[in-house]
Amino acid sequence: MKIIKAEVIVCAPGRNFVTIKIETDQGIYGLGDATLNGRELAVATYLEKHLIPCLIGRDPFDSEDIWHYFYRGVYWRRGAVNMTAIGAIDMALWDIKGKALDVPVYKLLGGKSRQKLMAYTHAQGRDMEETIDKVAEKVAQGYQAVRVQSGVPGMKDIYGISNDKKSYEPAIIGQKPIEESWNTSKYLNYIPKLFSKVRETFSDDLHLLHDAHHRLTPIEAARLGKELEPFNLFWLEDTIPAELQEGFKLLRQHTSTPLAVGEIFNTIYDCQDLITNQLIDYIRMTIAHGGGITPMLKIASLAGLYHIKTGCHGPSDLSPINLAACLHFGTAINNFGIQEYMGYADLTMEVFKFSHDFKNGFFTMSEAPGLGIDMDFEKAKKHQYKQAYLPVNRLEDGTLHSW
Ligand code: CS2
Ligand code: MG
């Protein structure tokens, strides 16, 4: 089998998405998600100008060699743009292999390690009351795991909260990022009170998660982790900036709250020390930004040695193709932990066809060959890309802080 053509589809059904479509001489095509929120065109151009020309003529079954060809072979390594492009190609190759053999991808990765996959969703409110209502809504929908984010008294805008009550979309259309502001002390004073109320309101069995979005120093994170211990979180995510790996040692010594990190990592080298030193409990890298299914299997194997589980990043700013790839991966590995799932806009689902079933907080896999996804290419064309940026974040005195 040979790859005869590949194209990049940039479209915006509900929001911006970048997709690679790889076509073979046997009439089978594969799809891969290449969306990197706020930097979409960098990945699209890298694919079009540099990677696709080298793909033509290759056998899609040689996915391991193709991966190394684009990783080692280009000399320049790592980085979100590079790894997202490689990840999209790898995903599409596995999709082709599954379709060619008429099996779902998970069967090629190790088969069924579980019958269903637990997902967590997001509940967010502008204040404590609204947040509790939102958690109740998600519980009523059947979710057993809910990420809780809330507006903080005295702070105007905050990560994860939509001001207009619509679903949260952090990338704002425009020529420049909007600016948000932040006050760590107000946040740290409020979050334990919020979780105390949430735990008091809901059963002990409800899994609660929280994302600090890289905004704390190690000692601030240690305080938060410690103060949240009585409320028994499933995980506390991205407390300190993820590149500050030394900080995790300090944090880990202070708290038994489980820690999750990895949504901005893109290679095994970003998490190798965190895993081998047992400084985290969940690795949150995702298929699209982590370089594809091929390297993610290796990361899961390394993590499995240390009883660290996966919790793949799965926001609505990655397409349903990435979600499908995460589900195949999560089905096949032993150390699946949980899958993030925020749902998608209706427009998104009109373009992306997704065959896996979701009910009461759990996914079950369809038996469709490949990744079990497809795209309406004609409809996609109707929704044109518009430049959008993630916000930047400043402390109240104007100092630039992590968003
Ligand atoms: C996040 C994301 O899902 C998460 O945990 O931290 O919402 C993240 O902010 C976005 O994917 C950025 O594009
Ligand atoms: Mg996050």
Share of the chain above pLDDT 70, in %: 99
Domain boundaries, the chain: 3-104, 108-367
Residue 242 has a pLDDT of: 78
Mean per-residue pLDDT, 154-177:
81
Confidence of residue 164 (pLDDT cuts 50, 70, 90): low
pLDDT tens track for 62-99:
999 999 999 999 999 999 999 999 999 999 999 999 99
Tell the residue nearest (CA) to atom 7 of ligand 1. 315
Mean pLDDT of the chain: 96
3-state SS, one letter per residue, for the chain:
CCEEEEEEEEECCCCCEEEEEEEECCCCEEEEECCCCCCHHHHHHHHHHHHHHHHCCCCCCCHHHHHHHHHCCCCCCCCHHHHHHHHHHHHHHHHHHHHHHCCEHHHHHCCCCCCCEEEEEEEEECCHHHHHHHHHHHHHCCCCEEEEEECCCCCCCCCCCCCCCCCCCCCEECCCCCEEEECHHHHHHHHHHHHHHHHHHCCCCCEEEEECCCCCCHHHHHHHHHHHHHHCCCEEECCCCCCCHHHHHHHHHHCCCCEEECCCCCCHHHCHHHHHCCCCCEECCCCCCCCCHHHHHHHHHHHHHCCCEECCCCCCCCCHHHHHHHHHHHHHCCCECCEECCCCCHHHHHHEEECCEEECCEEECCCCCECCEEECHHHHHCCCCCCEECCEEEECCCCEECC
213 catalytic residue (yes or no): yes
pLDDT tens track for 9-43:
999 999 999 999 999 999 999 999 999 999 999 99
Q: Which atom of ligand 1 is nearest to the CA of 168?
A: 7
Ligand 1 shell residues, CB under 6 Å: 37, 170, 211, 213, 263, 313, 315, 317, 340, 390
Share of the chain above pLDDT 90, in %: 95
What's the CA-to-centroid distance between 315 and ligand 1, angstroms?
6
Residue 165 has a pLDDT of: 53
What's the CA-to-centroid distance between 286 and ligand 2, angstroms?
11
3-104 CATH fold:
Enolase-like; domain 1 (3.30.390)
pLDDT tens track for 274-307:
999 999 999 999 999 999 999 999 999 999 999 9
Identified catalytic residue from 122, 210, 213, 214: 213
pLDDT tens track for 182-214:
999 999 999 999 999 999 999 999 999 999 999
Fold match, 3-104 / 108-367: no
Whether residue 330 has pLDDT greater than 70: yes
Mean per-residue pLDDT, 351-367:
98
Residue 158 has a pLDDT of: 80
Confidence of residue 120 (pLDDT cuts 50, 70, 90): very high
108-367 CATH fold:
TIM Barrel (3.20.20)
Residue 168 has a pLDDT of: 75
Mean per-residue pLDDT, 352-376:
98
Identified catalytic residue from 46, 143, 159, 341: 159
356 catalytic residue (yes or no): no
